[in-house]
Amino acid sequence: MSLLDIQGLFVHFGGVAAVDNVSFDLREGEILGLIGPNGSGKTTVLNLLSGFLPPHAGHVRMRGEDITGMPPDRLAQRGVLRMFQMTRVFARMSAFDNLLTAGMARGLAESEAGKRAQALVEELTLGPVQYLDAGQLSGGQRKLLEFGMCFIEPPLVAMLDEPFAAVHPVMREVMANFIRSRHAQGHTFLLVSHDMPIIVDLCQRAVCMNAGRVIAAGDIHSVLQSHDVIEAYLGNSDTGPGHEPPSSLEVHPK
Ligand SMILES: Nc1ncnc2c1ncn2[C@@H]1O[C@H](COP(=O)(O)OP(=O)(O)OP(=O)(O)O)[C@@H](O)[C@H]1O
Ligand SMILES: [Mg+2]
């Protein structure tokens, strides 16, 4: 069953259609990969779905309710949360206090927020740095902290924009395990990543965009093997410079 039903989303910046008639569904409890070369519109789709940008056309329905253009705070109350490509934490507050504040902002009592913050600090291996200002943490540790802030009150759907980019492999594995464990508990994810082995490892299905449009959707392996997808990553005269192709040889099928 669909958690989000996305129909005909369209947004343009001046003459550029950044998201052009995009339709797909996000199913309850799945991890759906959203892939595509640089500039293909993935972050813009997340902006539209999480209310940071209103679409010029199209609809988003959550379990049948029209949530198109709803602002981020109202969507967050309904359990739609996103993480950013650039991490957003309070740099001059300790890592632990960031978690506590995130919990209280989502309506938890301080004692409950504190308990959950402690458990998340341990699960996310942030114990040794929990009392440092978040601004002193490494990029990977800040990403882990943002995971904790997002999940201190688990969302219905978490939208993650490049969470693994430039993160140490050990922390990547902590993140991947965190996503796996929440997925096993039934949580739903929309995951944007250029890291194809991780996408194949975590996602059963994927949507691939190029130049604002959906060019393939479905089972992860069929998407990666699609002629249009390989072509888009290699780049051609219509799409500008490409990106490393998501060769199925690079990935390890489940
Ligand atoms: N605020 C904006 N103003 C003008 N153009 C924008 C804006 N945001 C995005 N764009 C343009 O929209 C297109 C899609 O950008 P977007 O950031 O969604 O791509 P992306 O798939 O997330 O790329 P990447 O993989 O590099 O993060 C690009 O051509 C980009 O330059
Ligand atoms: Mg992006």
pLDDT in tens, the chain (254 residues): 899 999 999 999 998 999 999 999 999 999 999 999 999 999 999 999 999 999 999 999 999 999 999 999 899 889 999 886 556 788 999 999 999 999 998 899 999 999 999 999 999 999 999 999 999 999 899 999 999 999 999 999 999 999 998 889 999 999 999 999 999 999 999 999 999 999 999 999 999 999 999 999 999 999 999 999 999 988 754 444 445 555 443 444 33
Token code pair at residue 84? 């950013």
Probe residue for ligand 1, chosen from 19, 35, 43, 164 as the CB with the greatest number of ligand atoms within 8 Å? 43
Residues facing 191 on adjacent strands: 33, 160
Enumerate the CATH 3.40.50.300 domain ranges in the chain, comma separated. 2-79+156-250
Please tell me the predicted confidence (pLDDT) of residue 239: 42
Distance (Å) from CA 230 to ligand 1 centroid: 21
* Dmax (CA) of the chain: 58
Please tell me the predicted confidence (pLDDT) of residue 203: 97
pTM of this prediction exceeds 0.95: no
Q: Which amino acid is at 243?
A: H
Q: Which amino acid is at 155?
A: P
Q: Whose CA is nearest to atom 8 of ligand 1?
A: 44
Token code pair at residue 133? 């200002």
Per DSSP, the three-state class of 158 is strand
Point out the ligand nearest to the CA of residue 16: 1
Per DSSP, the three-state class of 115 is helix
Domain range 2-79+156-250, CATH class: alpha beta
Please tell me the predicted confidence (pLDDT) of residue 250: 44
How many CA atoms lie less than 13 Å away from 127 in the CB half-sphere? Answer: 4
Distance (Å) from CA 238 to ligand 1 centroid: 16
Token code pair at residue 7? 């129909």
Token code pair at residue 34? 């959203």
